[in-house]
Amino acid sequence: MKKLFHLSTTPKQLRLFENEWEEIKAFVSKNKMDGIELGLTMDYDLSLIPKEIITGVHLSFYPMWLDFWRQDQERLHEVFESEEAMYAYYKGRKPEDLVASYRKQYERAKSLEAKYMVFHVSHILPEDSFTYTFDYTDEEIMKATIELVNQAFPKEEDGPLLLFENLWWPGLNYKDPKLTKWFIEQIEYPNKGYLVDVSHLILTNNQIGTEKEAYYYIKQTIEALGETRKWIKGVHLNKALPKRYMSRDHSHLLKKYQDTKDSKQKLAILKKHINALDGHVPFDHPMAKKIIEILNPLYCVYETAPTSRYELAYFIKKQNEALS
């Protein structure tokens, strides 16, 4: 099993290392990690990135994409205040633009000689993240994802592993074994598999309040997949214990979000809410080792949210200790 940590080419993340890739290389070596899963922004210069430390690439995720894919103009105009705002979000105007984006990202991942790519299978509107009421099903979102992926990724080419990641919103969540089996079988790209985000899986059960409860829930869910669990090739390791926060009534937060007119303030409210659910904190408990043993991945990615390289080193140390 390769141990990796997640790093993005966003300015905020690269500032942790003063935008110096030699510093990043030294950090990988000093902390005895096997490499990086890279959140690769579309405009970042690939020539700056040392290929030897890149193991995986996380592809773009558009949380609100299903209505765009279906070209449901009525729903789109409910979400976006203008055509310009919609274009800024999707970097395009038609479903073909999404296909083209993922084709380009696929080529960029190959250029970096990545061993795998990560693709989120989910759709969520901002208000729904507060209310947990949805008017679309897991199957609808998974079906649309199959359509998109089968158009964007070649059927005959054996490129990097394409790993599909779960979220706790509608889409892929591993709760339905038949649906999980059906989805992976419909993907025509040959080198494919699943990635289990530990926190995202925990968040599908709002009664989990301890690490031990998290372990038994994950064990039960993964064992229920039966033979389909063979497709699990990767893990994002971090921790969420949602019982306290998810048991609250978030109607006041929803109203605050809806009443706020400034787009930056609205985004700040939404981000604070999402971070309270999925904080990307290290799984610093011995149950982490038992969870990894159940999942048995090729790649274990420490996906945390540090504010400095020193905090990142500390987070790596804590998860290493939990897995030892």
Every domain of the chain and the residues it spans: 2-323
Q: Write the CB contacts of 261 (distance below 8 Å, at least 6 apart in sequence).
A: none
DSSP structure string for 166-234: P-SSSB--S--HHHHHHHHHH---SSEEEEEEHHHHHTT-TT--SHHHHHHHHHHHHHTTGGGGGGEEE
* Whole-number pLDDT of residue 79: 87
DSSP, collapsed to helix, strand or coil, labels residue 8 as strand
Percentage of the chain lying above the pLDDT 90 cut: 89
Residue 269 has pLDDT above 90, yes or no: yes
The values of phi and psi at residue 137, to 5°, are: -105, 165
C-alpha 226/C-alpha 239 separation (Å) is 25
Determine contact, residues 323/26, Cβ cutoff 8 Å. no
Out of 60-64, 83-87, 171-175, 223-227, which region has the weakest mean confidence (pLDDT)? 83-87
Residue 185 has pLDDT above 90, yes or no: yes
Residue 81 has pLDDT above 90, yes or no: no
C-alpha 222/C-alpha 229 separation (Å) is 7
Is residue 109 very low, low, confident or very high in pLDDT (cuts 50, 70, 90)?
A: very high
Out of 27-31, 87-91, 169-173, 198-202, which region has the weakest mean confidence (pLDDT)? 87-91
Q: Write the CB contacts of 88 (distance below 8 Å, at least 6 apart in sequence).
A: none
The values of phi and psi at residue 88, to 5°, are: -65, -35
Q: What angle do CA 134, 140, 144 make, to 5 degrees?
A: 125
For 204, the token pair is 């599908």
Determine contact, residues 163/58, Cβ cutoff 8 Å. no
C-alpha 315/C-alpha 5 separation (Å) is 10
Pick the CATH number of 2-323 from 3.40.50.2300, 2.40.50.840, 3.20.20.150, 1.10.510.10: 3.20.20.150
* Whole-number pLDDT of residue 130: 93
Instruction: Tell me the pLDDT of the chain averaged across its residues.
Output: 95
Dihedral (Cα; 137, 218, 128, 38), 10-degree rounding: -100
Residue 263 has pLDDT above 90, yes or no: no
Determine contact, residues 171/179, Cβ cutoff 8 Å. no
